[in-house]
Amino acid sequence: MGTTGLIDIPTLTRLVDEGEVDTVVVAFVDLQGRLLGKRVTGRFFLDHVVGEVDGEGRPCGEGIEACNYLLTTDVDMNVLEGFRYSNWDTGYGDFCAVPDLATLRITPWLERTALVLCDVVEGEERTPVPVSPRQILKQQIGRAAEHGLAVMFGSELEFFAYDAGYEELARDSYRHLGDATSSWYNLDYHVFQTTKDEPLLRALRNGMLGAGLPVEFSKGEAAPGQHELNLRYSDALTMADNHTVYKNGAKEIAHLQGKAVTFMAKPTIDQPGSSCHIHSSIWSLEDGRPLAPGDGPHGMSPMFRAWMGGILEHSVELTLCFAPYVNSYKRFQSASWAPTAVVWSPDNRTSGLRLVGHGAGLRVESRIPGADCNPYLAFAAMIAAGLDGIERDLDCGEPYVGNAYTASDVPHIPWNIVEAMDAWEHSKFARSALGDEVHFHVLHAAREEWRAFNAVVTEWELRRNFERI
């Protein structure tokens, strides 16, 4: 098929008529940042899901219906008790997923298939569902716009690649992950070692380019089998959408090659975890000027110092948006390339926040989020924190100098999900900035994650206790 990238409805109509596209994946984002939805025939998508398009480019058709429990499940898709938005008492009704036609694209790794992301709405008025991840981010983007700001993001997503497929690794109970990588030593920037995974990485780069995602490069990371593929920065919503499409597409492409990739934060004990370093900067919504650079210390403007000051002040209480699972916290170890101290430094990879770039490219990198984060929640939390810094005219203070792993008398990232839940639960800021519904939803999801983990007898417990106790 010759057509690639983002497409519009006239182009899709032509492709459907010519038989070049016969399936459209109509998907929305769940609490885990995954794509859920339906595969719809091309003609039905055009005639019924989209229907007419209004003057603002919004579809007037039926959308797709789905059970609202899909925004209240855990990773295993279990129906969980206790959520306010959707529960047995409310009867688990339907919501509607309405395509955002700006996200309509060809997915070249799937035969004759297009993909579109949706906003989740409900009722006759099609009111946005407040706990939908895409809506959570949109709300914060709207708040930034009220300040005349556009927020730009770039998310660096790391992953481990395995020569074995998902089913094979699962049947082995994931006991030999180290033996399933194509390399057996650190491949950070190592061209020869990454050549071993190049059939997969090349397919990922070209597949994403073919889907309209602006790929910059891929590179080896700091462990055997670990890689990073970077997409060019963009506005917050586009970057979150691109992140999500890339993550889903990477799994699909790997699976089609009989291989597997994981975005789990810490898949093995003896290797570094996988991060999602998030770069943010602020720009003028009116004329597109970068507002981060200025005449202040380290080339920062007062507004950007305030933006970073807000992120610095609130990162601990917002950690659940950056590290949502029990496993997420296994990354945060001394000298592990994942941070432990919430401090900022210019170009210092031991700090939680790293100031990088210069001029229009000046930005702050949060090294706290893991590859398992939901980008919509992570971006929303970061915008909320940065805006609070601007509204209160905070200052980021002096940078930390030296090895931040040894820093004392500074805020530290929660060591486990229990500490993170406590910080989130008692955060007046998180509740007020993100809303009571979102605050409760995220907290309850974390509680259910902790409850599920506590009900399991782990291999570590058996090895430690079976004979010795």
Question: What are the DSSP calls for 181-237, one per residue?
Answer: SS-SS--TT-HHHHHTTHHHHHHHHHHHHHTT--EEEEEE-SSTTEEEEEEPPEEHH
CA distance 267 to 230: 21
Contact 230, 216 (CB under 8 A): yes
Looking at 3.30.590.10, 3.40.50.261, 3.40.50.720, 3.40.50.800, the CATH number of the domain 141-462 comes to 3.30.590.10
How large is the average pLDDT for residues 40-62?
Answer: 94
Bridge pairing between strands 363-366 and 276-284: antiparallel
CA distance 364 to 38: 38
How large is the average pLDDT for residues 184-194?
Answer: 88
pLDDT of amino acid 19: 96
pTM of the complete model beyond 0.85: yes
User: Does residue 1 surpass a pLDDT of 70?
Assistant: no
Amino acid, single-letter form, for residue 152: M
**Residue 362 banded pLDDT, cuts 50, 70, 90:** very high
User: Does residue 2 surpass a pLDDT of 80?
Assistant: no
pLDDT of amino acid 245: 98
CA distance 216 to 228: 11
How large is the average pLDDT for residues 291-312?
Answer: 97
| CA–CA distances in Å: residue 239 to residues 151, 154, 170, 213, 231 | 11, 7, 31, 9, 8
User: Does residue 84 surpass a pLDDT of 60?
Assistant: yes
User: Does residue 58 surpass a pLDDT of 70?
Assistant: yes
pLDDT of amino acid 3: 83
Was domain 9-126 assigned CATH 1.10.10.10? Answer: no
How many Cβ atoms are within 10 Å of 313's Cβ, its own excluded? 19
How large is the average pLDDT for residues 71-77?
Answer: 94
- Least trusted range by pLDDT, from 24-33, 53-62, 311-320, 341-350: 53-62
Number of H helices, E strands in the chain: 13, 16
**Residue 162 banded pLDDT, cuts 50, 70, 90:** very high
How large is the average pLDDT for residues 387-404?
Answer: 97
Give residue-wise pLDDT tens across range 428-469. Answer: 999 999 999 999 999 999 999 999 999 999 999 999 999 999
Q: What is the largest CA-CA distance in the chain?
A: 72
**Residue 355 banded pLDDT, cuts 50, 70, 90:** very high
CA-nearest of 193, 197, 205 to 250 is 205
Domain boundaries, the chain: 9-126, 141-462
φ, ψ of residue 265 to 5 degrees: the values are: -65, -40
**Residue 178 banded pLDDT, cuts 50, 70, 90:** confident
Give residue-wise pLDDT tens across range 97-117. Answer: 999 999 999 999 999 999 999
How large is the average pLDDT for residues 160-183?
Answer: 93
pLDDT of amino acid 182: 85
Which structure tokens are listed for 51? 């229907």
How many Cβ atoms are within 10 Å of 232's Cβ, its own excluded? 11
Which structure tokens are listed for 332? 């945060």
CA-nearest of 387, 374, 369, 377 to 429 is 387
